[in-house]
Amino acid sequence: MTLHQSDDYQDIRDAVRALCAEFPDEYHRKIDADRAYPEDFVEALTKAGWMAALIPEAYGGSGLGLTEASIIMEEINRAGGNSGACHGQMYNMNTLVRHGSEAQRQKYLPRIASGELRLQSMGVTEPTTGTDTTKIKTTAVRKGDRYVINGQKVWISRVQHSDLMILLARTTPLDQVRKKSEGMSIFIVDIKQAMASGMEVKPIANMVNHETNELFFDNLEIPAENLIGEEGQGFKYILTGLNAERTLIAAECIGDGYWFTDRATTYANERVVFGRPIGQNQGVQFPIAEAFVEIEAASLMRYEACRLYDAQQPSGAQANMAKYLAAKASWEAANACIQTHGGFGFANEYDVERKFRETRLYQVAPISTNLILSYVAEHILGLPRSF
Ligand SMILES: Cc1cc2nc3c(=O)[nH]c(=O)nc-3n(C[C@H](O)[C@H](O)[C@H](O)COP(=O)(O)OP(=O)(O)OC[C@H]3O[C@@H](n4cnc5c(N)ncnc54)[C@H](O)[C@@H]3O)c2cc1C
């Protein structure tokens, strides 16, 4: 059930749903149990052109906007899948499309659109600085026609299933810049080449089946032509990507939220205890209904964030608020769903516990709820900066 039964994007919804139907619950359950990568699923999405949604038609993509991309992500999660396996390509793409040079766009975009290359990784977070991104310690020092990278990253996802990564590093030391957001740059890193010449990858075992890694850079040399945009302006560029990321992850949470409320409603209608369906009890109904209300509201904020982003207008506030609302709503829906299922919510074969783990991530990554509230307090309400 959704109030957006039929919207302007029904064709996209129908097509993505049809593809997802070929990958039923059992498929995603097995991938999760085996801690495997959904290679066939990502391949099918790529072949169908969905992974190239944001690439302009001139470079072989579909030339769609963030709104359409958000529908794709929503439908994957709504069908029981986990977009986390492949969403990186969507939001990383815009960084390259909007800030890459014409030569970089020509070099990479058609090959990404065809599926020959994957751009699934973005390296920002570092172990000693966490959310305090401007303090990153990874450096990129220009030496002739190369940059030499040294430092460390943590929680960098899909590295082992990507050919390319967008990397944020400091090119001017923090004490030599006017503003702390200046002096950082972003680069395209060829992952296989880097692994052979100075980048070490150590996987991090974690709660979800989400391939994520520690990265160590020891004099990794990359061609200077891999710098995206202007040196020193990388933080500004990465924010464009982060707004897209937050909006798309909001859409995934919305998809999860509908999955949870659909499953909870079905089970509450079918399960009979004390001689009546459990869903006849308001104590069971209300948490599901409340979660549904919150998902619908989050979805509206998601559309607003997409609208602004697609119009190339500032969307930071809306992207953050959509992510906050959607992550909260999907988590409430997950709780309602597991509670409605009673003991069966814990059984792997119902998939509720898997989706429960998957959606929990989004209160922490890619930005924690506290940091969103801090953004709203400072940048929207004008309260004093707390850090
Ligand atoms: C599975 C997974 C995949 C990820 N993938 C990627 C990726 O591909 N690329 C990438 O760059 N990063 C990735 N991340 C990192 C993710 O973006 C960070 O974990 C997240 O931004 C939080 O940073 P942190 O873990 O360093 O927490 P910290 O910054 O150490 O914060 C810890 C806690 O303290 C709170 N906190 C900190 N400071 C304040 C404050 N001033 N006020 C209030 N509360 C505060 C935070 O809200 C948080 O709850 C991933 C993380 C996970 C778990």
Give residue-wise pLDDT tens across range 105-150.
999 999 999 999 999 999 999 999 999 999 999 999 999 999 999 9
100 and 133 share one domain: no
Query: Both 178 and 104 in a single domain?
Result: no
The total number of residues written for the chain in this structure = 387
Beta carbon of 242 within 6 Å of any ligand 1 atom: no
Name the one residue in this structure whose structure tokens are 């390296």: 123
Rounded Cα–Cα distance for residues 165 and 185 (Å):
13
Flag whether pLDDT at 369 surpasses 90: yes
Cα(350)–Cα(263) distance, integer angstroms? 9
Cβ(246) – ligand 1 distance below 6 Å: no
Whether 386 is in a domain gets the answer no
Q: Is residue 35 part of a domain?
A: yes
Rounded average pLDDT over 171-187: 97
- Residue 2 covered by a domain: no
Whether residues 290 and 340 fall in one domain: yes
Residue-averaged pLDDT of the chain: 96
Domain residues for the domain of 350 are: 236-380
Per-residue burial over 104-134, b = 16 or more CB atoms within 10 Å of its CB, e = otherwise:
bbebbbbbbbeeebbbbbbbbbbeeeeeebe
Cis peptide bond upstream of 38, omega within 30? no
Looking at residue 121, its pLDDT comes to 97
Residue 309 placed within a domain = yes
Q: Ligand 1: which atom is nearest the Cα of residue 206?
A: 1
Question: Phi/psi of residue 172, each to 5°?
Answer: -130, 130
Using the predicted structure, report yes or no on whether residue 209 has a pLDDT greater than 80. yes
Per the annotation, the verdict on 270 as an active-site residue is: no
Average pLDDT over residues 49-60: 96
Indicate if the pLDDT at residue 43 is higher than 90. Answer: yes
Are 112 and 124 found together in one domain? Answer: no
70 with 126, same domain?
no
Residue 47 lies in a domain: yes
CA of 130 to the centre of ligand 1 (A): 6
CA–centroid distance, 320 to ligand 1, in Å, is 15
* d(CA 214, ligand 1 centre) in Å: 14
Q: Is the pLDDT of residue 16 over 80?
A: yes
Q: Is any ligand 1 atom within 6 A of the Cβ of residue 361?
A: yes
Q: Please give the pLDDT value at position 188.
A: 98
Does any domain span residue 20?
A: yes
pTM of the model: 0.96
Single residue among 233, 266, 301 that ends a domain in this structure: 233
d(CA 76, CA 66): 15
Long-range contacts of range 282-288, CB-CB < 8 Å, 24 or more positions apart?
Answer: 284/340, 287/332, 287/335, 287/336, 287/339, 287/340, 288/261, 288/264, 288/333, 288/336, 288/337, 288/340
Are the C-beta atoms of 330 and 362 separated by less than 8 Å? yes
How far does the centroid of ligand 1 lie from the alpha carbon of residue 366, in Å? 7
Ligand 1 pocket mutation, candidates 364, 369, 373, 383, criterion most atoms within 8 A of CB? 364
Q: End-to-end distance of the chain based on CA atoms, in angstroms? A: 43
Q: Return the best residue to mutate from 131, 133, 164, 331 for the ligand 1 pocket (most ligand atoms within 8 A of CB).
A: 131
Considering the domain architecture, whether residues 291 and 312 belong to the same structural domain is answered as yes
Within-domain flag for 353: yes
Q: What is the 3-state secondary structure (H, E, C) of the chain?
A: CCCCCCCCCHHHHHHHHHHHHCCCHHHHHHHHHCCCCCHHHHHHHHHCCHHHCCCCHHHCCCCCCHHHHHHHHHHHHHCCCCHHHCHHHHHHHHHHHHHCCHHHHHHHHHHHHHCCCCEEEEECCCCCCCCCHHHCCCEEEEECCEEEEEEEEEEEECHHHCCEEEEEEECCCHHHCCCCCCCEEEEEEEHHHHHCCCEEEEECCCCCCCCEEEEEEEEEEEEHHHEECCCCEHHHHHHHHHHHHHHHHHHHHHHHHHHHHHHHHHHHHHCEECCEEHHHCHHHHHHHHHHHHHHHHHHHHHHHHHHHHHCCCCCHHHHHHHHHHHHHHHHHHHHHHHHHCHHHHHCHHHCHHHHHHHHHHHHCCCCCHHHHHHHHHHHHCCCCCCC
Does residue 382 have a pLDDT over 90?
yes
pLDDT at position 135: 97
Q: Is the CB of 366 under 6 A from ligand 1?
A: yes
Is ligand 1 within 6 A of the CB of residue 370? yes
Residue 58's domain is classified under what CATH number? 1.10.540.10
CA–CA separation, 102 and 96 (whole Å)? 10
Nearest Cα residue to atom 3 of ligand 1? 155
Which one of 173, 203, 233 terminates a domain? 233
Q: Please determine, for residue 4, whether its predicted confidence score (pLDDT) is greater than 60.
A: no
CA of 370 to the centre of ligand 1 (A): 10
pLDDT at residue 183 above 70? yes
* Interval between CA 132 and ligand 1 midpoint (Å): 9
Tell me: do 298 and 330 sit in the same domain.
yes
Q: Would the pLDDT of 5 be above 60?
A: no
Give CA separation, 103 vs 140, 180, 343, in Å: 22, 30, 57
Is 385 inside any structural domain?
Answer: no
CATH number of the domain at 207, please: 2.40.110.10
Tell whether ligand 1 has an atom less than 6 A from the beta carbon of residue 206.
yes
| Listed range (32-46, 82-96, 100-114) with the worst mean pLDDT | 82-96
- Give mean pLDDT, residues 231-241: 93
6 pLDDT higher than 60: no
> CA-CA distance, 242 to 248, in Å (whole number)?
10
pLDDT of residue 8: 82
Is the CB–ligand 1 distance for residue 10 below 6 Å? no
Q: Which of 211, 245, 294, 358 is catalytic?
A: 245
Report which ligand 1 atom has the smallest distance to the Cα of 132: 29
| CA of 88, closest atom in ligand 1 | 8
Indicate whether 157 and 24 sit together in one domain: no
List pLDDT tens digits, range 250-303: 999 999 999 999 999 999 999 999 999 999 999 999 999 999 999 999 999 999
Same domain, 302 and 355: yes
Specify whether 355 is located in the same domain as 245. Answer: yes
- Write the pLDDT tens digit of every residue in 297-323: 999 999 999 999 999 999 999 999 999
- Residue-level pLDDT at 94: 86
Residues 333 and 319 in one domain: yes
Q: What is the rounded distance in angstroms from the CA atom of residue 345 to the CA atom of residue 342? A: 6
Atom of ligand 1 nearest to the CA of 123: 11
Is 212 a pocket residue for ligand 1 (Cβ < 6 Å)?
Answer: yes
Contact 231, 223 (CB under 8 A): no
Identify the pLDDT of residue 166: 97
Residue having the nearest C-alpha atom to atom 19 of ligand 1: 365
Residue 239 confidence (pLDDT) above 90:
no
Report the pLDDT averaged over residues 152-162.
97
Domain boundary among 102, 118, 134: 118
The count of domains in the chain is 3
Q: Would you say residue 2 has pLDDT above 80? A: no
User: Hey, what are 84's tokens?
Assistant: 């986390």
Q: Is the CB of 91 under 6 A from ligand 1?
A: no
- As a whole number of angstroms, the distance between CA 147 and CA 305 comes to 35
How much is the pLDDT for 336?
98
Residues 250, 352 within the same domain: yes
Is the beta carbon of 128 within 6 A of some atom in ligand 1? no
- CA dist 268 and 259 (Å) reads 14
